[in-house]
Amino acid sequence: MFRNFKSVNKCAYGRGSFDKLGDILAEKRETPEACMVFLVDEVFKGNQPFIDRIPLLDQDLLFWISVSEEPTTDLVDGLRDEILEKKGLPAGVIGIGGGSVMDTAKATSLMLTNEGSSTLYQGLNLIKKPGIYHVGVPTISGTGAEVSMTAVLTGPEKKLGLKCDWTVFDQIVLDPDLIETVPTNQWFYTGMDCYIHCVESMTGIFKNTFSEAYGWKSLEMCQDIFLNSEDGRSAENEEKLMVASYMGGLSLTYSEVGVCHALSYGLSKIFHYHHGIANCIAFNQLKDVYGEYVDEFHAMVEKHNIDIPQNLSANWSEDEIDQMAEVAIRLEHMWIHAFGHNWKEVLDKDRIKGWYRRM
Ligand code: NAD
Ligand code: ZN
């Protein structure tokens, strides 16, 4: 399979990098009036020391982004319209937050130059024009959204990414200082997104030596962080997690996710579970597919005393289980990756429903 993808153009890594963001942006302001748009996770609202570090000039715009729901096509279309109305085309968009805010920034950059609703562009290579300069600053690590070529949006009909070369960030700033305030349960759920990306990437047919180099290394770092070290949230481990997330994302670009992500999409679509926790709910029950990795996951859950929701299916109707299975079974590329081109010989909707019933 021929794969030829764009990478993030520039990557700053290290503690204190966030304080260089003003200098980085200055180079991209072609006139003194050039406007930058900052999309910032609402969790930082009221956190004055943090706000003081955002290099906001008088002409810039700042939007607080609520992440109580994962990003929607409506959110992005609304941001685009408001920005164009207030400022015309800005010089850049900067997303400061987790996967939700980074995906919102990637999508907003694209929608500022592509007409109509973002629902028109959910899919591969549907975007017609390059977006504007965009920067990602993760404040929680695991999704790999900082490095991936997709911006996942929930629309009225589907949860699907705007995926093309232009989606990829022009610049990312990886500053491990920024992730220290993440609550432990969330640290674990989003961190496990990275662990699961690696497990899935490394256990399917689409992997190659290139994705393996990133995938095995990232997996090893996750094991160090979540299992083998005394203190999972040590300064060194926060640094490792930022790099593991980046490498897990790169591994996936050159491979594919698998069973857990297919099931997780069903959970998110029907019951609106967020990505990280949905993955944990699903992976918890996938011993028959991912074997020792699921044992290892259980050990990590126990070590950090994390709450993974269980016995959910007791409250699900047969129809809801059927709807989730329908969402999952359509993700054919994930099943091919996990079970091979003859996946229909080992998998049908009943097996998928069986997994949901265990959750
Ligand atoms: P998130 O962005 O929703 O953030 C999770 C929670 O952590 C939120 O409550 C947020 O406010 C909080 N938070 C973030 N940084 C914090 C900090 N420094 N201190 C305290 N709280 C903080 O979660 P996520 O798991 O990073 O991202 C999930 C999203 O990413 C989903 O929308 C999913 O679809 C998307 N995703 C995208 C890709 C991709 O390749 N584009 C890959 C995986 C997931
Ligand atoms: Zn994921």
Q: Are 152 and 276 part of one and the same domain?
A: no
ipTM of the complex: 0.99
Ligand 1 atom with least separation from CA of 189: 25
Distance of CA 343 from the midpoint of ligand 1 (Å):
31
**Mean pLDDT confidence for 251-277:** 96
Q: Are 219 and 301 part of one and the same domain?
A: yes
pTM, two decimal places: 0.97
Q: Is residue 323 part of a domain?
A: yes
Ligand 1 atom with least separation from CA of 190: 25
Q: Are 122 and 100 part of one and the same domain?
A: yes
pLDDT at 287 over 90: yes
Q: Are 244 and 347 part of one and the same domain?
A: yes
The domain total for the chain is 2
Nearest by Cα to 195 from 236, 161, 224: 224
User: Which residues are CB-neighbours of 309 under 8 A, at least 6 positions away?
Assistant: 277, 281
The Cα 245–Cα 226 span in angstroms is 13
Distance of CA 348 from the midpoint of ligand 2 (Å):
23
Q: Are 165 and 205 part of one and the same domain?
A: no
Confidence band for 158, pLDDT divided at 50, 70 and 90: confident
Distance of CA 42 from the midpoint of ligand 1 (Å):
12
Q: Are 104 and 238 part of one and the same domain?
A: no
Nearest by Cα to 329 from 355, 357, 359: 355
Q: Which amino acid is at 277?
A: I
pLDDT at site 147: 98
pLDDT at site 159: 86
pLDDT at site 86: 98
> What CATH number did the domain enclosing 59 receive?
3.40.50.1970
pLDDT at site 48: 96
The Cα 286–Cα 295 span in angstroms is 10
pLDDT at 343 over 90: yes
pLDDT at 261 over 90: yes
Kindly list the strands in the beta sheet with 150-154, ordered across the sheet, starting from the edge strand earlier in the chain. Answer: 123-124, 159-163, 150-154
Q: Is residue 5 part of a domain?
A: no
Distance of CA 318 from the midpoint of ligand 1 (Å):
30
Q: Are 14 and 161 part of one and the same domain?
A: yes
Q: Rounded mean pLDDT of the chain?
A: 97
Q: Which amino acid is at 248?
A: G
Range of the domain at 82: 10-179
Q: Are 280 and 193 part of one and the same domain?
A: yes
The Cα 73–Cα 107 span in angstroms is 9
Q: Is residue 17 part of a domain?
A: yes
Q: Residue 54 region, left (φ>0) first, then alpha (ψ -120 to 50), else beta?
A: beta
To test the ligand 1 pocket, which listed residue (43, 101, 168) has its Cβ within 8 A of the most ligand atoms? 43
Q: Whose Cα sits closest to atom 11 in ligand 1? A: 43
- The binding-site residues of ligand 1, defined as CB within 6 angstroms of any ligand atom, are 41, 43, 67, 70-71, 97-101, 103, 139-140, 142-145, 148, 150-152, 178-179, 181-182, 186, 190, 193, 274-276
- Portion of the chain with pLDDT greater than 70, in percent: 100
> What CATH number did the domain enclosing 302 receive?
1.20.1090.10
**Mean pLDDT confidence for 297-309:** 97
pLDDT at site 2: 85
Q: Are 113 and 130 part of one and the same domain?
A: yes
Distance of CA 190 from the midpoint of ligand 1 (Å):
7
Q: Is residue 2 part of a domain?
A: no
pLDDT at site 127: 98
- Ligand nearest to C-alpha 275: 1
Q: Are 171 and 212 part of one and the same domain?
A: no
The Cα 199–Cα 45 span in angstroms is 35
pLDDT at site 330: 94
Q: Are 165 and 213 part of one and the same domain?
A: no
Nearest by Cα to 224 from 137, 305, 303: 303
The Cα 165–Cα 279 span in angstroms is 26
Ligand 1 atom with least separation from CA of 140: 15
Q: Which of 179, 212, 240 is the last residue of a domain?
A: 179
Q: Are 175 and 188 part of one and the same domain?
A: no
